[in-house]
Chains A and B, each alone.
Chain A
Amino acid sequence: MLNLLTKNLFLFDPLSLFFLAVIFIVSLPSLIYSLGYFSPKANPPTAEKGEYSAAKIMLAQVLLLAFVLSMALVVSVNNCLIFLIFWEIMSLVSYFLVVFDTKNAKSIQAGLIYIVMTHIGTAFIIAAFMILRNYAHSFDFFAVKNACQAMPSQTRNIVFLLFLIGFGTKAGIVPLHIWLPYAHPQAPSHISSIMSGVMIKTAIYGIIRFVIFILGVNSSWWGVLVLILATISCLVGVIYALMEHDIKRLLAYHSVENIGIILLGVGLAMFFISLNLPYLAVFSLIAGLYHLINHAIFKGLLFLCAGSVYQATGTRDIEKLGGLIKKMPQTAAYFLLGAMAISALPPLNGFVSEWLTLQAFFLGAFNVIGGCKLFLGICAAMLALTSGLAAACFVKAFGITFLAQPRSHYAQNAKEVALSMRIGMLILAVLIVIFGLAATFIIKLLAKVSGSALGIDISSMSFSLNNFTVTPQIVKNIYLSTPLLALWLIVFGITGFVIYKIFGRGRPVIYKTWDCGYYKLDSRNEYTATAFSKPFRIAFSFFLLPYRKTQKIRESFYHIKSFSYETHTTKVFKKYIYDPALAMVFKTAKSMRRIQPGSIHLYLGYIFITLLLLIIFMRQF
């Protein structure tokens, strides 16, 4: 019976196994972390978030398990209909986790935006499935896959666009990202870590499974469209992140950016497969999948660290933090590691996958013709810009949160978090290093996943970091060895230290920071996050449309008692797309109200007319 069930319900091909691995790699540390996060005595001194009762904590843990289970089922079923059911369960459970803080009005609003957006996405997916069902007369993956061969290309294009919008909403690609920066920060931090690290990846699974695996890519504009959307997501995500000083929302915007980087790999794979360049397609998908698992790890870690900071200080506003490296040395070290990985610094894991993605662009450019070369080059340059901006953003995030002096009493009284939370973070931190240093092995594993997802036989291709067999004829000697690089960095670092010690005379003098003779330097003199991002705000002002509010309170004409200054940026997508759309919905709803005047006679009339129409409909069709 069980055998029959697994045979008919589940599909454990390399792609599914890979996503299962991603889900459990991030969920387990988060689960360990949650033990400490919810412990009763761990509430912050200021208790901004309110106390949780024992029953509520129990509920949270049950929901968390249901959430992880539903995600695991989403990536392992083999039937469109059942996929949809688990997809919906996943969305609903995560909605309940987003609104977990029911006392907080922000959470409720975030949950509302989330559930509306996710259902719009699901509607598109359902539409796509219905079209597929029309051709396949079955919901089974393989039956659908076979039926897709005979589908007219017009229909395929429509199905592709439906899938892209549907899964794109869940993944948070621009301009469908609107819910992500609201929903992710509102959940408890280990949930944010799973949502950002894993849940949005199920959408990437959907794109790979349904567009590449089942539908099959046959026109090159699909890949180009995905590449353009991905590039825009990268840049928009990171620019918004730079402007943000709520630490969890900053991380959420970075998820938009990193989904973009992952989709660059996926889009390249689609592009190359339509150009009939199988090696490059497999290679690009490896880069995308590698970044996917890396992002799951380091974003999971960063959200856990942000949760620790929130628990220890009771605030998420980094302008109020500072100096935490001395109060919470371990959390600070983990956050630094995560920040280095997400900024693609060698020899950590984010560096390997970003390098692979760039390399996929470069290798691709060597093999396509004419204008395509330029297109790939500009996409690669935009990826470089993204990684530069991400590094700037994490200098800001780490520097303002953890370094210098505490900027408020919130940070002053912080203490290191509970052991179970630190263990959760430690596991992910170790994984960051392992995934950076053991890149060669991981690429070999990912090659199998990538090959099976693309339906390309990889037995004649070799994938390693020091030998790129682009075509059997051309072998490029391009090397990357992260262990060797790490070794040299350490050797030179130690050499520098030895020189420093040899020439050393006595111990360094500890003294005040130089303050131009002012002698009253305190945390108010420190650079703030807003100040740090000022050059970026000005350089990207054409997109961010910044504006400021100043207010002077005067005691008399000559003396100003207080002066307040606020700077904001305009969220263009919200202002010019979503707000008008929402206004239109309300307007339509308002005019619809005219048919509901409250008269029972009229309603009976409606029922009668409906009945008549139905009878006519049944007779005719």
Chain B
Amino acid sequence: MMIILQIILFIVFAPLLSGLITKIKNNLRMRKGQSIFQPYYNLAKLFSKDEVISETASWIFRVTPFVVLSSTLAVAILIPVFIFVSPAHKIGDFLVIVFIFALGRFFLALAALDTGSSFGGMGASREMFISSLVEPALCMVIFAISLQFGSTDISAFSGMHAITVSSLVATLALFLVTLAETSRIPVDNQETHLELTMVHEAMVLEYSGRPLALIEMASYIKQMIFFFLIAQLIFPIGLPTAHLAQILPWVLWYLVRIGIIAIIVALVEVIVAKMRLFRVADFLGFAFVLGVIATVCVILGV
């Protein structure tokens, strides 16, 4: 029951978040911009379109959308949203999230290579490069947080009740990681289809119709998950342990918090320029160092 509710919440609101970010970005650039519901229209459009599959592609290309979607949904039920202990918490702890995301990414990169287009190969190579550098930074952030909480349980995020120096530094590190993982500027640019700059878009270039809709949906949900994690860290207010009656106000408050994160991301995207691919190593190296600093702060007890 809780699991289904949680999935519905993610599926319903995740595209809105992307729409919101695009709208804010457009408004900041003095443009009118598209409606914040545009992602929904896009999904609806994709669902009614025909699908074209490359003749070089194998079954890897066909199963990938489902693997990507199912791995993202598996993470979506793992994190505690409504109540303190997530409904599916017996699946795994915090570290498992990193591995499950790796599953989806692995298949997406293979599917990109599958069609034999050089765009796909380019995207796969870059995505695997960025994601492998993300891992130590993310691991360090998780390390700092779980060190503070004394467990790698996922409720570690929700278990914090006060902002400390270490949680602030960890939040910043997680924010940088999120920019990289959700293909945002300065690491990647969702708006472009220029071969010099695109990473995620290059990987899914050959997809069309319903499979593309599923992949898009998965990346919306992934983005929402990362925003949620940041929101939990920076607004350390625990979760209710009670049931349905108290949940509605929580959902609202929860969406407001995520909305604030989305606004910050939009601001960053407008202000910062996209960086060269090889500079990403420095960017994520910085996130790793922040993770180390957060750990030191935890050890020093601040």
Contact = CB atoms under 8 A, between A and B. Distances in A.
Interface string B101-120: 01101100110011111111
A359 B299 CA distance: 19
Interface stretch (B90-98, B231-239, B245-253): B90-98
B292 interface: yes
Interface string A362-397: 100110001101100110111111011101101110
B170 interface: no
Contacts of B57: 513
Contact of A479 (B89, B132, B135, B214): B89
A433 to B, nearest CB: 15
Interface stretch (A15-23, A176-184, A452-460, A482-490): A482-490
Interface string A494-519: 01110110011110111111110000
Interface stretch (B28-36, B122-130, B160-168, B263-271): B122-130
* A-side interface mostly: helix
Contacts of B153: 476-479
A355 B97 CA distance: 11
Nearest to A493: B70
Contacts, number: 271
A496 B67 CA distance: 9
Contacts of A366: 147, 150-151
Contact of A385 (B116, B133, B205): B133
Contact of A382 (B55, B121, B136, B151): B136
Interface string A346-365: 10000100110011001001
B124 A395 contact: yes
B91 A403 contact: no
B116 A521 contact: yes
Interface residues of B, number: 88
B146 to A, nearest CB: 6
Interface residues of A, number: 89
B52 A400 contact: no
A198 B73 CA distance: 38
Interface in B182-230: 205-206, 209-211, 214
A391 B70 contact: no
B281 interface: yes
A514 B56 CA distance: 11
A49 to B, nearest CB: 28
Interface stretch (B13-21, B137-145, B254-262): B137-145
A466 B91 CA distance: 9
B200 to A, nearest CB: 15
Nearest to A389: B132
A344 B132 contact: no
B122 to A, nearest CB: 6
A488 B117 CA distance: 33
Interface stretch (A6-14, A284-292, A410-418, A533-541): A533-541
Interface of B: 47-48, 50-60, 65-67, 69-71, 73-74, 77, 88-93, 95-96, 98-100, 102-103, 105-106, 109-110, 113-122, 124-126, 128-129, 131-140, 143-144, 146-147, 150-153, 205-206, 209-211, 214, 277-278, 281, 288, 291-292, 295-296, 298-299
